[in-house]
Structure 1
C-alpha cells in the first residue's frame, strides 16, 4: 500500500469542501496543497522577524523563528519518510508549529497570557490553531465566517501539539527552549475555537482522548532535536560557549533544574561521553575560520542523524507491524536520547540563556508588550489593523473585544511591536 492510501477520506476532509482544481493544472495531492498554503501564509513570513533565542536583528548568522521552522521541517520530513508516515503532513506541521508565537517568543507569550486571563488566556500553540482555522485569509464558509487556510483534518491534527483546552491543562514546570520559565499552562485550543478542534479530532479512538497523532509526535521531536543542536551552534559562533571547556558541575545543575529533574550524575556523565564520542565533536576551540564553521556544521548533522536514527530504530522495534500513521502508532524516544538532548539544551542554557544582558533585555520586552496591549485596548478600533476591525465590530462583549486586541498584538513581529508601541504610546 502506498503512502497516500494509508490516509482515508476523513483524513483529507476540509471544513469547507473544495471543488477539484482545473483539469489542466498540475496534479497535487491534498496534503501537498496544505503545505503550500502554510508556506505562503502571512504568518509564515512574519516568523523571519521573530525571536528564536537571540533577537533576529542582533546578528545575521543567528536563527530566527522562520529559519528555525525550516530546519525543523527538514528534520521532520526526513524522519517521517524513514518511518513511513506522510512527509507532507509532518513537514507542514513543522512549518506551522511556531506560527502562533507572539513578538519576543515565550517572553511575550507570558505577558499575553497574564493580560488575557479573563478572556480565555493565551498560548502559542492555541494561537497557531486559531491562525490556521480563523485568522489567516483563504476560505470562508457558507455563513461568511473565515475558516482560515481550510487545511485537511490530518494536517490540523498534526499541528496540534497539545490536544486539550485550558481547563484540562496541568500546571507549568521547567523552562522553554529559549530559557524563559514556563509560567503559561500548555494547551492547544481556546474555548471559542472548540468547534473546529472537535471537528479535527474526529476519529481519535482509545482510552486517552489527549493522545497526539504520530505526525504531531514527529513534529515535536524534530523541534526538540533542532533547537537542542542549533542553539549550541549559535552559541559557539556568537562566542558564548566552548565545547572543549565545559563546567561539569554548573552544567549538571542547569540540566536538572531546567530540563531533567532527578537525573543522576552517572546518567548525565554517560550522555556527555556519548556526545563527545561523536567523531565530529570539537577537539579545539572555535576560531571563526571556514574550517571551524565546517566542523560545527558536521557536528550538527551528525547529532541530528544520531538522535533521529536512534528514535527510528526504537519506534520500529515497538511497532506491531501496522502502518505508522496518525493514531495507529506512537513515536518511541529512548531514554538515552532524551538525556543527550537534555545535555545539549543545558549547555545552551548555561552559557547563552542565563547571560545578564539577555535577562535585562527580556524584562524590557515584557514591559513593552504589556504597555502595547493596554494602549491598543484603550484606543480600541482605531488602533487595530484593518484585518482585525471586523472582529472588533462583531464582538459581543468586552471579553471578545479583548481577544481581538490579543490577536492584534500577537500578530506583530519583534520590530513592528517596538514601532507600534512608539507610535501609540507617545
Structure 2
C-alpha cells in the first residue's frame, strides 16, 4: 500500500454492499484499484466511444469522442493527484467515470432530455452518472433488497465522481442549473456524502473537475483546428469574447480576456501560420496542447501548494485555481464555442438531434415496456407511478449512443408499429 492510500480512513473504502476480498492466494489490489477496474470494464464506459464530444464520433478519425476525452481527462487527473499527494486511483476513476451519464448527442441531448423529464425531476448528466454507478450498471445486487446497486464502488470514489454534490433545488439556490443527484437516488447519495461538510466537494472531485476543464478547453480547440474550423492565427476576438460571456464567464471584460489571449499567444508553440495538415504542422499543434496542459496544471499545483502544506486528501484541502488560469481556459473554450459549437451547420444539426430525442421519448412512452431493453422493461413494470415510468424511459434513451439513437428512431418512429414488433434488438 502506497503512502497516498494510507492517508484515507477505513470508512472511505467502504461499499454500500460489503464485499469479501476476491483473492486469497495473491496480493490483494486496493479497494480503489478495484474501483478503477470496474469502471474500465463497464458497458457504459465502452459506449462512450460512440457518443459525441464536440464533433460526432464518425466526423473524423482524428477528433475525440467521449471515450478518448475521458481517457485524456483521466491521465491529467492521475498526474495532478499524484503531484498533490492524494490517491491517484480515486481521481483517475472519477475522471474515467465523469461522462458516463451523458446521453446521445452530448450536451445537446442532455438539454433535450432535461426538458422532456420535467415531470420526474429533470435530467443532468452528472446526476445520471451517479445513477449509473449506483443502480443501472449491472455488477452487484443488494441481497437485502434484491436490487441492483450498480458497480458498488467505494464511498471515496463515488464522492470523487460527484461533481455537483447537491440536489436540483439546492442548485437553484446556488444560481446554477447543474446538480448531482435525482430524488430517486437520495439514499445512496446521503450514504456516500456522510460526514461531508455541507455541499463542499472533496479534493479528488475538484481534481477530476479541473482535469476535465483543462482537457476539453485545450483538446476541443485542437480538434477544431484539425477539422479546419479554427485558425489560431486569425481569430475574431470580439466574437470569441461574446461566446465566453454567453457560456462561461458572463462578467469577464474585454481587457482581461485580451490579456489572457496574449498570455496564450506567448506560449512557445502558439502557431504563427495556419494549420496545413502536414506532419510538421500536426507535431507543432500536439506540442502546443502539451504545453498548455502543463501550463494550466503547473499553475494550479503551484497555487495549491502555496495555500497550504497538505495533505491534499478528501476534505482537508481545496484546489486553488489562479484567476489567470480560469480566464485562459475560458478563452480557449470561447474559441471552440464560436467556431465549432455555434457554427450555422452545427446549430441546424443540433436542432434535428433534439427532435430525434423528443420523438424517441414519445414513442417509447407509448409502447413501453415492449419497446424497451429487458433491464429497463423490468424497471418499467416495477414502477409505481407515471413519473417513475418516465424516468425509466429517460434512462433508456440516455443509455443509447449517437448511432443507436438514430437506429432506434428509424425503427420505432419512422417504421412505426412494424418497428415496435421487432423490439428487443439494440443497435
Fold-level similarity (TM above 0.5): yes
* Partner in structure 1 of residue 361 of structure 2: 373
* Partner in structure 2 of residue 323 of structure 1: 311
TM-score with structure 1 length normalisation? Answer: 0.94
**CA offset digits 1:46-95 (Å, max 9, x no partner):** 00000001101111111110000001000111111111111100000000
2-structure distance, mates of 1:172, 1:108: 24
* Partner in structure 1 of residue 35 of structure 2: 34
- State whether residues 21 and 28 of structure 2, in contact with CA within 8 Å, keep that contact through their aligned partners in structure 1: no
* Partner in structure 2 of residue 176 of structure 1: none
2:170 corresponds to 1:185: no
Return the offset for 1:257: 2.6
Return the offset for 1:336: 0.4
2:219 corresponds to 1:230: yes
The list of structure 1 runs, each at least 4 consecutive aligned residues, that deviate by more than 3 angstroms after superposition, is none
* Partner in structure 2 of residue 350 of structure 1: 338
- State whether residues 171 and 185 of structure 1, in contact with CA within 8 Å, keep that contact through their aligned partners in structure 2: no
2:271 corresponds to 1:269: no
- State whether residues 172 and 186 of structure 1, in contact with CA within 8 Å, keep that contact through their aligned partners in structure 2: no
* Partner in structure 2 of residue 211 of structure 1: 200
Return the offset for 1:417: 0.4
* Partner in structure 2 of residue 118 of structure 1: 119
Moved more, 147-156 or 249-258: 249-258
Return the offset for 1:172: 9.7
Return the offset for 1:171: 7.6
2:149 corresponds to 1:147: yes
2-structure distance, mates of 1:283, 1:171: 46
Moved more, 77-86 or 1-10: 1-10
2-structure distance, mates of 1:133, 1:163: 15
2-structure distance, mates of 1:352, 1:96: 25
Gaps of 5+ in 2: 416-427
1-structure distance, mates of 2:65, 2:27: 33
Moved more, 92-101 or 23-32: 23-32
Return the offset for 1:270: 1.5
2-structure distance, mates of 1:333, 1:118: 38
Q: CA RMSD, aligned part only?
A: 1.4
The DSSP-based 3-state class of the residue aligned with 1:100 is coil
* Partner in structure 1 of residue 99 of structure 2: 98
TM-score with structure 2 length normalisation? Answer: 0.94
- State whether residues 202 and 315 of structure 2, in contact with CA within 8 Å, keep that contact through their aligned partners in structure 1: yes
- State whether residues 368 and 377 of structure 2, in contact with CA within 8 Å, keep that contact through their aligned partners in structure 1: no
1-structure distance, mates of 2:246, 2:390: 36
Query: How many matched pairs?
Result: 412
Return the offset for 1:110: 1.3
Return the offset for 1:45: 0.4
